[in-house]
Chains A and B, each alone.
Chain A
Amino acid sequence: AQTVTQSQPEMSVQEAETVTLSCTYDTSESDYYLFWYKQPPSRQMILVIRQEAYKQQNATENRFSVNFQKAAKSFSLKISDSQLGDAAMYFCACYSNSGYALNFGKGTSLLVTP
């Protein structure tokens, strides 16, 4: 079974600053995929970034990047130049071929202050 842990229930960042959200996971699979989802107040879950475990290079999408440490089973999300629209719940998730479903962490609520 896979578990995903987000140890920060809430985080706060000032506009234009950088923030890092933590995620650790546990899986016995060698082939798996990691995701960060954003859920703004509108409730629509949006995929922010995706990482394939067999790829060494950290994924990047504009202001969003990850620090994927496979040996440590760590998958943190860095948001650069934070904007007010980044305020949301962020969920980390893991998927492997042996199952059908993604396993989610409990989420981190990000507050962005002007």
Chain B
Amino acid sequence: QQQVKQSPQSLIVQKGGISIINCAYENTAFDYFPWYQQFPGKGPALLIAIRPDVSEKKEGRFTISFNKSAKQFSLHIMDSQPGDSATYFCAASLIYSGYSTLTFGKGTMLLVSP
């Protein structure tokens, strides 16, 4: 059973545009929602994370929007740049409930065209 569904699988955005990646989860007990960024040939790295008591978190050009009632969260990349081209994974966890593991979405390959 896939607990975190991510869409789209791939995305092409023009330079300067907004990239939007969506995730939906099933377990209402999840208490931590990170996004990881992975460049080719590298391991994933934490990009930004949010807890469910906050509806939005912004770090530079990256924003997480969180909708608890809809059990959805999304990553917005403003003014997308070619250097943002990477694979993005959303994830969810019960980390504040004492569990250690992350459940990942299947990933979105983002290509920002010059």
Do chains A and B interact in one complex?
Answer: no
Report which A residues bind B (CB closer than 8 A).
Answer: none
